[in-house]
Amino acid sequence: MFDTPADAQAQLAQQFSRPQVEMVVEALVPTLVFRPQPKGRAGLGGTRIGGTPDLPPGLAWPRRTKPADVEAIAKRGNVEAGEEMRRHFRKELPYAFFAQVDLGEAQEQTGGQARGQDAPAAALPGHGRLLFFYDLSAGPWDNGTESTRVIWDESPHDGLVTQVMPPDLARAAEAHRAEIAKVNRQFALPVPKPDSGTPYGGPARPMSLHASLRPPAIESLEMEARPTLKAALAPRSDGEESFRDAYQDLFSRAFDSYYGAANTGRRNQLLGAPLPEQSDPRLEAEVVSRFGVQHLSQEQWKAHRPEIEAGARAWRLLLQIDVGDFLQEDGEGTVYFLIRASDLTDRRFDRVVAVYQQT
């Protein structure tokens, strides 16, 4: 959102008072954002969203095996969604490829506002690529480690090979487009393009990474570390909500597509503070990891709230991707790839948890 603190101060001064500007600037969180590049600009190993990954010989596109608890997952959706998940799991398809991040590029983007240990990418490996895969067909009902695979590939660029989509995944994507086309023709709506996004993959888009500063969302854990700002943004009993309303408007205009061109990708980011659609997704990562369930009852949440909130602070956002932007079609929700700080230090990307949210 902002390139430097000075840039933030200049822009925020147009909307907020000086004390409010100072509170917001002090709370800014470093992150890395994605900017589209002209097609054909991304070489082997380059940063991209969608398309297919670049893999070395011997590293296979990961495939999701049939879960042991298919019925439990299927029952989290309605009848139609549940039956679709059962059919999906029987196929044991490869995961959809979501993104590829050039870690060398990430390290270069320290930005003048955040160097050394405070740089956005300081905790990441300094070489290779991070490859993000996700089961978009069932993952929204299945927060946890099984709905995603994140791979750190350390192989040199000159050993990489551009992949083609596995045949069974390509057939599933084509069948999905055919089904959408059939329905759309009935209502005289446009049919999907041959390369349009599906739950099995999104269009290939070369990206570059850029260091940025973003204010924390009101719902984020970072806001808890800013008690003065949090108090100033708290709902008021007198109904006067000017600062809170302006702060939320800032977020809406900056990150929500309904205020601008659709699918602008402004919610996509690497590291930093999550942009929740509900509560902070690190709370959900802690719940599913600690209790082995998707959600707790109100009574359970109340009983365990202190330990959940304490545990959630150990989690870090690795990547978040807006589903509509990934598909470049109509789509709802955000996928958050989260990892404990200790696992990030140990490079245990097999322990990444995926959390899906939508409003």
Residue 278's CB: how many other CB atoms inside 10 A? 13
C-alpha–C-alpha distance, residues 146 and 68, integer Å: 11
pLDDT for res 146: 97
The angle at the Cα of 265, spanning 260 to 269, to the nearest 5 degrees, equals: 135
Structure confidence by residue, pLDDT tens digits, 159-178: 999 999 999 999 999 999 99
Which value, in Å, is the radius of gyration of the alpha carbons in the chain?
21
Contact 101, 209 (CB under 8 A): yes
Structure confidence by residue, pLDDT tens digits, 84-94: 999 999 999 99
The encoded tokens of residue 11 equal 């822009």
Residue 234 CA to chain centroid, in angstroms?
A: 27
Please tell me the pTM assigned to this model.
0.94
Structural domains in the chain plus CATH codes: 5-357 (2.30.320.10)
Residues ≥6 apart with Cβ < 8 Å to 357: 276, 277, 278, 281, 284, 333, 334, 336
Cα–Cα nearest to 354, from 65, 201, 148, 120: 148
C-alpha–C-alpha distance, residues 288 and 269, integer Å: 23
Counting as low any pLDDT under 70, the low residues of the chain are 40-42, 110-118, 239-240, 256-264
pLDDT for res 240: 65
The encoded tokens of residue 228 equal 């003065």
Q: Residue 112: CA atoms inside 13 Å, Cβ hemisphere, count?
A: 6
274-to-102, 240, 289 alpha-carbon distances in Å: 21, 27, 18
